[in-house]
Chain A
């Protein structure tokens, strides 16, 4: 049985080590609005912020090019930095980039590696909790939107989406629709109807 829990609401009367929950007096309470599945003991957040993890792909904008580092804006409380020594080519302020998280600094800075400049296109911001739904199981949702609209898309785990070419307006509309209806079942069919391409399930 699935139910929606709000912050401070009891999830389970046993202590469970869940990601968006805390334990007090041997009981588990939610910290963000989430869906709790009693049988699977699974807590899926409906809202949430982005916590950087190693090897995650992020999309951001170069904010400042210093002598030996670049600072990157990541739509998060944390700033990203790239050490120039490890970049293949020079980047400029305002460049959109895709990079992966190398390590986390204690001061809250995210060290990025393998940056790639994304030429042209535009950026969209979505809520980080909905990124997984936008990508879908083995990239189904993302492939469907990009194939249906003929666009190239990159999704950062920090909630920034880059889109280029094709029908950008339709693609961004689809992205925002995924964000709004992420928790409602049958979303894949609705998006399919919207962007009009057959679902290619990879087995």
Chain B
């Protein structure tokens, strides 16, 4: 372990009392921003994330346009007040640029881009409060926003992180675990085919550990996918309940 002072796993319990396979609670609210094409607000444990999708619209500046398909542009930002350390007071830092890029690439795999040649689709992810795993929360939240905007997609991606403490694999790392664990690995999955759209890893894992980690991601994904679907449907079922 990098830091011997902190015991992340003791008697099969993590610092916040979860077992290694437990996920934090997730709450998704559809369409909080009426001006956007589609938007979603998500609370994932202590993470608070807002995602909004605009477009497709004319790609600007013109040289960024692709005459064959739409271009996806993403802006992931952490609010200056989102965590104890400073974030984003002077605009995008290296980390924000990287996460924006990988988020956009996840959606390039699912959005049917060739229907809108020469246009751009903008995804904005704002992290209001962070507690580890915000890129996973951002992707999961942006997927709901994208679906609500009516842009045709082949799948509804979700993302979650897994990590390693000693020889144990833990699911859904929070900030302390993220900083002091032996490995952490955010994964984005396209659930229809269970294919991987994003995989980044910090640290090392053996092959068996990796397999266990992926299995945990896929198991947790069933719950996340259901929550995403429920959030999308609540938009319509609640109106129905109002009038019987």
Complex interface: chain B residues within 8 A of A29 (CB): 154, 192
> A3 to nearest B CB, angstroms?
10
Interface assignment of A20: CB less than 8 Å from any CB of chain B: yes
Is there contact, CB below 8 Å, between B56 and A46?
no
Interface assignment of A83: CB less than 8 Å from any CB of chain B: no
Q: Chain B: interface secondary structure? A: mixed
Is there contact, CB below 8 Å, between B148 and A47?
yes
> A133 to nearest B CB, angstroms?
13
* A8 touching B55 in the complex, CB below 8 Å, given contacts A107-B118, A180-B239: no
| Distance in angstroms between the alpha carbons of A185 and B191 in the assembled complex | 32
Contact with A along B150-164 (1 / 0, CB 8 A): 111111100000000
- B residues near A (Cβ < 8 Å) are 38, 55-58, 67, 110, 112, 115-119, 147-156, 190-192, 228-229, 232-233, 236-237, 239-240, 242-243
Is there contact, CB below 8 Å, between B152 and A8?
no
Q: List 6 A-B contacts (CB under 8 A).
A: A6-B233, A7-B154, A8-B191, A32-B150, A32-B151, A108-B117
Complex interface: chain B residues within 8 A of A84 (CB): none
Contact with B along A161-182 (1 / 0, CB 8 A): 0000000000000000000110
Is there contact, CB below 8 Å, between B154 and A8?
yes
| Distance in angstroms between the alpha carbons of A20 and B233 in the assembled complex | 17
Complex interface: chain A residues within 8 A of B150 (CB): 32-33, 45, 47-49, 127-129
Is there contact, CB below 8 Å, between A190 and B38?
no
Is there contact, CB below 8 Å, between B236 and A46?
yes
Is there contact, CB below 8 Å, between A77 and B112?
no
A-B contact count (CB 8 A): 89
Complex interface: chain A residues within 8 A of B192 (CB): 8-9, 29
- A residues near B (Cβ < 8 Å) are 4, 6-9, 20, 22, 29, 31-33, 45-49, 51, 77, 79, 107-108, 127-129, 180-181, 183-186, 190
Is there contact, CB below 8 Å, between A22 and B58?
no
Is there contact, CB below 8 Å, between A181 and B149?
no
> B240 to nearest A CB, angstroms?
5
| Distance in angstroms between the alpha carbons of A47 and B37 in the assembled complex | 10
| Distance in angstroms between the alpha carbons of A174 and B105 in the assembled complex | 40
Closest to B151 in A: A49
| Distance in angstroms between the alpha carbons of A46 and B237 in the assembled complex | 12
Is there contact, CB below 8 Å, between A77 and B116?
yes
* A22 touching B154 in the complex, CB below 8 Å, given contacts A77-B55, A77-B56, A183-B240: yes
| Distance in angstroms between the alpha carbons of A35 and B142 in the assembled complex | 22
Is there contact, CB below 8 Å, between A33 and B118?
no
